[in-house]
Structure 1
Amino acid sequence: MRPSMPDSARRSLPHAFDFEGDGERAHHWLESAYGTTLRLRGRTGTVRHRRTDHAAIAFDHLTIGARFEFGSDPMRGLVVVDVLSGDLEYTRDHVTDRGRDGDTVLVAGLDMPFRGRVDSCALRTTTFDVDAVGAAVQDLVPDHPRQRVSFSSYVPRSAVAGARWRATVDELATFFPGEESPLGRGEAARLLGHTLLDTFPNDVVGAGDPLQSGRDARDATPSTIRRAVRVIEERAHEDLSLADLALACRVTPRTLQYAFRRHLGCTPASYLRRVRLDLARQSLRDGSSSSVGDVAARFGFFNPGRFAADYRRLFDEYPKDTLARATR
């Protein structure tokens, strides 16, 4: 069993980087890192980039210190961007999506060129190679044309789906198995691929498909995790106990605890808390809650000091700071 890591600033950028530079060096580095040709307009400023590469899946932290526009040839895989700070915009297939801190955007579908702009951003990106996407498609719909997934939207299908995606990446980016555990690496890639397809609307997983097949109902498998995170998505606003979650997933509480520890390195309760913290932040950002106390109560945080401390550990700021920035 892997030890659980504290919730300390999981979405913050690391202090050391594999690359730091500007100008043409930064331009060439980004092209090499993401396997595409970028046509830049404007100065990149200082670029800092760190990658953790797990073959089929790669996690990146990236800061870009200026505003510039770009056009890109198609990438070899799929890239999901979680915006930590700043603003960005992507356009592909005549669809433009914009993101700011706390948002998640899918850069482009397979074999799809795109263009956009970034403005002094800090980003976390998750890159899937073609095989990882194809394996996820085949696992969910065996007779679907391999690797031919088409997305009808490039933003999460709901606020809770986005929060669930970010919580899953928080855990897997920290606990992704190493090369000494090829089975564990395969299961982690499989879980993340399924989460990708369940987050962004596409022609593989319909919006009404709950991904709750009867297989693996007895065991602590990725299928159990998929059922659990879907229940969390649907009922994050409720008083959802471990027993309630286990019952909805048709497993025992002990099996559910083991499944989360095995595949995500955390407990169901800590995962649910992280999703609720993400939703609280979205509510503070978009003005749907008028005070920190209101948003805390809305998402089941009844100890103001604990809520503020947990929020700061995850987002590097207090809830009152997020609210103040949104009301300027």
Structure 2
Amino acid sequence: MTETPIHSFVTNDVDESIAIGSRLFNDHRVRPVHAHAAFSYSLTAARVGTIAFGRLRYGCEVSVDVAGTEDSYAVSVPSTGTIRFHGRGADAESTPELATIGGPVDRVSLSGWAADDESLAMIWFNRRALEADLGRLLGIDAPALIAFPRLLDLRDGRGAEWYAYATTMIDSVGRSGALAVNPLLASQVSSILSTGLLLAAEHQYRSALDAPPAPQAPATVRRAMHFIEDNVREPITVPDIAASVGSSVRALNRGFKEHLGTSPLAYLTRVRMEGAHRELLSGAPEDTSVSQIATSWGFYHFGRFAARYRELHGISPSEALRSSNPRR
């Protein structure tokens, strides 16, 4: 398995910091506001699937000019203080409670980082992938440019929920064995942050996302079930399942609820759990382990897997493996 590369850099050289940040995020220029300030740049970030996220610091007050780009959306949140943005013909101030959303062809200037411990959390989205995700949610072709507002309120509601997920993933970068940067979870991590942003922020498609979906035909649900069963060991997501049957995510969720009394994700988890159960009962303890079997079926949080397994079968996964028939 190829590990997700973690980008971790520290430099006191302004030009080097520009080269590093431009490679991972967007082209930009940096200038310390005060000539003799102690410039100290650090960046820890990762690319996971179609997104990138991390934290950067400058160590002193700087002015940053970000070039316009056709291929990305980005969310920025300072850890403390205020970052001032100018773009789209208007000024805005980002704080720990108000994230700034930048879009394609969005040339902006920003300044701040007066304290050496101030950092900026950044989540970068590939434009085509985010717009394709929106299309799959709505069951339409990839839509045109998403008109996000300049600011996203993180104080409560969906904005706060989304940023809680994002913060967990950003803070895991650089931590050994972190699930958020595990390649097997790349599509799920991308989906959580992308779909969450689409549901948390206001834009021209938000009312369509919030509207009740049309009923889903039983035949479509059956095809989705077959797709899940045929691909259960693959790192598939609910958008993948919906796309395989030509449905929107919302319509498929409603169809599963109406005809099966469950959700596509719950059904996928159930099929995986059944597969893990069969393998535990047929496996040999000297040849495999509970963690190997759980991971092979898409379960990476072993404590939750064990608790759910005991709830379903009345014994622990390790007990099931030990009770398996030895090879003859």
TM-score range, shorter chain: 0.5 to 0.7
Match of 1:86 in 2: 81
1:140 to 134, 137, 142: 137
Q: What is the SS of the residue equivalent to 1:110?
A: coil
One-letter identity of the residue aligned with 1:123: L
Q: CA deviation at 1:66?
A: 1.1
Match of 2:307 in 1: none
2:47 is the counterpart of 1:46: no
Cα 1:137–1:207, aligned 2, differ >3 Å: closer, same or farther?
A: closer
Match of 1:298 in 2: none
2:99 to 92, 97, 104: 104
2:143 is the counterpart of 1:154: no
Match of 1:65 in 2: 59
Match of 2:90 in 1: 95
Q: CA deviation at 1:105?
A: 2.2
Aligned-residue sequence identity (percent) comes to 12
Q: What is the SS of the residue equivalent to 1:206?
A: helix
One-letter identity of the residue aligned with 1:186: S
Match of 2:292 in 1: none
Q: What is the SS of the residue equivalent to 1:111?
A: coil
Q: CA deviation at 1:22?
A: 3.7
Native 8 Å contact 1:135 1:190 kept in 2: no
One-letter identity of the residue aligned with 1:51: A
> C-alpha distance in 2, partners of 1:210/1:157?
23
Cα 1:26–1:161, aligned 2, differ >3 Å: closer, same or farther?
A: same
Native 8 Å contact 1:20 1:46 kept in 2: yes
- Length-normalised TM-score, structure 2: 0.55
Cα 1:66–1:190, aligned 2, differ >3 Å: closer, same or farther?
A: same
Q: Unpaired runs of 5+ in structure 2? A: 1-5, 173-178, 229-235, 240-248, 251-256, 271-297, 305-328
Q: CA deviation at 1:145?
A: 5.0
Cα 1:85–1:263, aligned 2, differ >3 Å: closer, same or farther?
A: farther
One-letter identity of the residue aligned with 1:127: W
Q: What is the SS of the residue equivalent to 2:74?
A: strand
Cα 1:103–1:156, aligned 2, differ >3 Å: closer, same or farther?
A: closer
Native 8 Å contact 2:40 2:58 kept in 1: yes
> C-alpha distance in 2, partners of 1:35/1:154?
19
Match of 2:186 in 1: 185
Q: Unpaired runs of 5+ in structure 1? A: 1-13, 228-245, 268-328
Give the structure, 1 or 2, with the largest relative contact order (CA under 8 Å, sep 6 or more): 1
Match of 1:25 in 2: 16
Q: CA deviation at 1:208?
A: 7.7
The higher radius of gyration belongs to: 2
> C-alpha distance in 2, partners of 1:127/1:68?
21
Q: What is the SS of the residue equivalent to 2:78?
A: strand
Q: CA deviation at 1:30?
A: 2.6
Match of 2:318 in 1: none
Native 8 Å contact 1:171 1:264 kept in 2: no
Native 8 Å contact 2:44 2:54 kept in 1: yes
- Length-normalised TM-score, structure 1: 0.55
Native 8 Å contact 1:132 1:190 kept in 2: no
Aligned CA RMSD, in angstroms, stands at 4.2
Q: What is the SS of the residue equivalent to 1:85?
A: coil
Native 8 Å contact 2:137 2:209 kept in 1: no
**Runs of at least 4 residues of structure 1 off by over 4 A?**
171-174, 210-223, 262-267
